[in-house]
Amino acid sequence: MFIVRVAPISKGITKEELYYFSSRPYESGSIIKIELRNKETSALVLESKDALENKTEIKEADFQLKKIKKQSPKKILSEDFIWTIENFSKNNLTTTGALLDYLVPSNILSFDGIIKPQTRARRRKYLKGDILILQGEESERITHYKNIVRESFARNESVFICVPTIKKGLKIFESISRGLGDYVYFLNGSMSKKELLSNWKKATENKHSIVIIGTGQFLSIPRNDIETIILESESSNAYKSQHRPYTDIRDFIENLSEKTKARLILCDTVLRVETIWRYRERDISELYSPRFRYPSGPKTRIADMTQYKTQSEKKVFEILSNEIKHLIEKDVITNKKNMFIFVARKGLYPFTVCGDCGEHVLCERCGKPTVVQNYKSSRIFVCNGCGKTRPTEERCKHCNSWKLQALGIGSSLVLDTIKKAYPSVPISLVDKDTTKTTPQINKKIKTFYSNKGSILIGTQLALEYIENVDLCSVISIDSLFSIPDFKMNEKIFSLLVELRSKTKEKMLVQTRIKNKELIEFALRGNIFDFYKKEIEDRKKFLYPPFANFAKITIIAPRKSIEEKVVEVKKIFSGLDLELFPALHTKSGSRTAINIIIRVKKENISEFIKRTQKLPTEIIIDMNPTVLT
């Protein structure tokens, strides 16, 4: 008899390891099936020990050991990958099993066939922890990727290109695979089980050097000849998981490449402020001299929307500036140019506020702001978070006033306004409400490009689908500045630079904000001055990279939440705590509170140690995407 120590692969299990009986030993690092809570679950074997030699240990175990069914174990992950998972989970507030569940496709875990990884001697070792940056526009980056692939193939090495989204992966795949057909694999979560297994098998068993393009989940592919990992669009939010285990794939890749000694190249049009900081501190190096200015670009202009006043000097809320009207009349209608219009929010009006007391209208279910939308011939409130709808005919929940005012500019409002003013212009809209599927989006994009002199309005959703456009107008971006997120400046800046790089002739930004410095930097493609300003602010306010944020979310019945907060405070006593009521207030008797803790670099290991005392139902997210 043997005792087998395993890590159950499941996000629901908070225990790091479990013990089982077995009639045979299983090699550590192999994947087996165990019975857990009456369900068959995959598990990673950590260790097998002879039961006879470990009698006392069995006696001391205060639980009944279950038996493992006889089976043939699978060796589907590389030792380096498993080692990285185990180490990473220790330092990142999660378990080996939860991380495996997140980072290995379930279809691969449950696959019963045989895959024979190619193992080969490595030709060249890069220095340990060799991290390089590549900052350039997308077309330049792709040219570099092609060169990297060519050079790697010449040295018999493989390349992994990690992408944030399937759409991005497809684009890279299409540009890289020309002429390399059988050696480029695009692995992604939208593949059917059959397709995935067949591609995974081919990519693993291919004797030639290959390129793998994939989202983070596919880093688990067991090829030991990957000497270069390219992290494409490294500033993308998509790399950070919004749910347990709250993993940041970028951090994991750094750990993995350090272990496998592959070089890691961080790539983007505008790298994260933290990344540029590391480069300037000489913590990481460069592949090519990075670009901090993109001098060539379209003609740009800022329209100050506060200039519109009545004769009595009262401010008038205009949706379209004189500048955009001019662009539509001269360039779109007369010269048949195409224009993309960016609007940050969907719906008609992103917010509704009480005219008497200032209270925001919020969703009754989840507490997020409601958006006013057209519905048949009337209007409804739609929750921005959970999508719950209700009629707009209501009084202020706080003061009972009827004076509810819809505010802001949503994409549908822009659509209605332009349609009314210029009924002859072909116009369409891409946002989460209007286009719900990828084919729907693709169809609208295609129509836009094939109709000269047309307009496409889009939110963030449309950005990935837009290639080059003649003209670009940003109608509303101001609302983004008020989001409580220390990374918001960086996000707005990157967004504007990206739009600029896609615009061929003219770009216009409408704004009501006073300090237009950030917009000006973006419209000039001036990353350097933006960075200088931003890093100064971060230093002043002790934001990353100068400190880390931890978000601790406590969800509990109203009556006992105070108790829980006290408990958490005690665990972290001596550290700076900031309390925020969470936006995701659960309905009924339960409520939620976020505690934000700023953790200085030197205190991080002490902090991690203390988190182990937290009750398991408390959620902790390091460097979250949003603070509230």
Angle at alpha carbon of residue 151, lines to 179 and 177, rounded to 5°: 25
**Which of 61, 114, 316, 386 is close enough to bind Zn ion by CB under 5 A?**
386
> Based on CB atoms, which residue is closest to Zn ion, 389 or 451?
389
User: In what order do the strands lie in the sheet containing 18-22?
Assistant: 31-36, 39-50, 2-8, 18-22, 66-67
Q: What's the rounded Cα separation, in Å, for the pair 22 and 8?
A: 16
C-beta of 390 vs 610, nearer to Zn ion? 390
Q: Is the CB of residue 383 less than 8 Å from the CB of residue 390?
A: no
Query: Closer to Zn ion at the Cβ: 129 or 358?
Result: 358
Q: Does 542 bind Zn ion (CB under 5 A)?
A: no
Beta-carbon contacts of 100 under 8 Å, excluding residues fewer than 6 positions away, are 7, 9, 44, 85, 109
Q: Which of 401, 442, 560, 605 binds Zn ion (CB under 5 A)?
A: 401
Of 388 and 533, nearer to Zn ion (C-beta) is: 388
For Zn ion, which stretch binds (CB under 5 A), given 9-17, 385-393, 447-455, 595-603?
Answer: 385-393
Supply the minimum distance, in Å, between the C-beta of residue 369 and Zn ion: 9
> In whole angstroms, how close is the CB of 476 to Zn ion at the nearest point?
22
The answer to whether 398 contacts Zn ion (rule: CB under 5 A) is: yes
Nearer to Zn ion, 399 or 542 (CB): 399
Nearest approach, Cβ of residue 274 and Zn ion (Å): 32
Q: Under rule CB under 5 A, which residues in 325-354 are in contact with Zn ion?
A: 354
Instruction: Name which position in 31, 396, 507, 568 contacts Zn ion (CB under 5 A).
Output: 396
Identify any residues that bridge with 509 across adjacent strands, giving them in sequence order: 302, 474
**Cβ closest to Zn ion, residue 198 vs residue 405:** 405
Among 399, 421, 542, 579, binds Zn ion (CB under 5 A): 399
How many residues touch Zn ion under the rule CB under 5 A: the total is: 15
Binding status of residue 582 toward Zn ion by CB under 5 A = no
Residue in the block written with tokens 């470990």:
54
Contact 472, 339 (CB under 8 A): yes
Between 267 and 396, whose beta carbon lies closer to Zn ion?
Answer: 396
Q: Is the dihedral of CA 558, 563, 566, 571 positive or negative?
A: negative
Q: Measured from the CB of residue 592, what is the shortest distance to Zn ion in angstroms?
A: 14
Distance CA 390, CA 290 (A): 51
Contacts to Zn ion from residues 55-74, by CB under 5 A: none
Q: b/e map of 370-391 (b: 16 or more CB within 10 Å)?
A: bbbbeeeeebbbbbbeeeeeee
> Interaction with Zn ion in 360-379: which residues (CB under 5 A)?
363, 365-366
Out of 61, 114, 316, 357, point to the residue binding Zn ion (CB under 5 A).
Answer: 357
Give least dist CB 582 to Zn ion, A.
13
User: Could you say whether residue 403 binds Zn ion (CB under 5 A)?
Assistant: no
Q: Residue 521 is which amino acid?
A: F
Sign of CA dihedral 490, 496, 499, 501: negative
Nearer to Zn ion, 363 or 427 (CB): 363
Residue 331 near residue 325 (C-beta atoms within 8 A): no
Q: Are 360 and 405 in contact (CB under 8 A)?
A: no
- Least distance CB 357 / Zn ion (angstroms): 3
Selected from 17, 80, 323, 359, the binder of Zn ion by CB under 5 A is 359
Do 74 and 45 meet the contact criterion of CB atoms below 8 Å apart? no
Q: Name residues contacting Zn ion, limited to 167-186 (CB under 5 A).
A: none
From the list 305-313, 387-395, 418-426, 567-575, the region that binds Zn ion by CB under 5 A is 387-395
What is the contact mask toward Zn ion in residues 464 to 503, using x (rule: CB under 5 A)?
----------------------------------------
In the set 219, 231, 305, 383, which binds Zn ion (CB under 5 A)? 383
Q: In this structure, is the dihedral angle defined by the CA atoms of residues 508, 513, 518 and 520, taken in order, positive or negative?
A: positive
Q: Which stretches within 410-554 are classed as H helix?
A: 411-421, 438-450, 460-463, 478-481, 488-502, 517-523, 527-541
587 Cβ contact partners less than 8 Å away, ≥ 6 residues apart: 364, 365, 366
612's tokens: 């182990």
Angle at alpha carbon of residue 96, lines to 90 and 102, rounded to 5°: 115
If the CB atoms of residues 251 and 356 are measured against Zn ion, the closer one turns out to be 356
Backbone angles phi, psi at 169, to 5 degrees: -60, -40
Smallest separation, CB 393 to Zn ion (Å): 15
Task: Give the binding range for Zn ion (CB under 5 A) out of 86-94, 161-169, 213-221, 398-406.
Answer: 398-406
Q: Please say which residue, 3 or 396, places its beta carbon nearer to Zn ion.
A: 396
% helix, strand, coil for the chain, step of 5: 35, 25, 40
Q: Which is nearer to Zn ion, 383 or 509 (CB)?
A: 383
The sign of the dihedral angle between the CA atoms of 548, 241, 196, 220 is positive
Residues near Zn ion (CB under 5 A) are 354, 356-357, 359, 363, 365-366, 383, 385-386, 388, 396, 398-399, 401
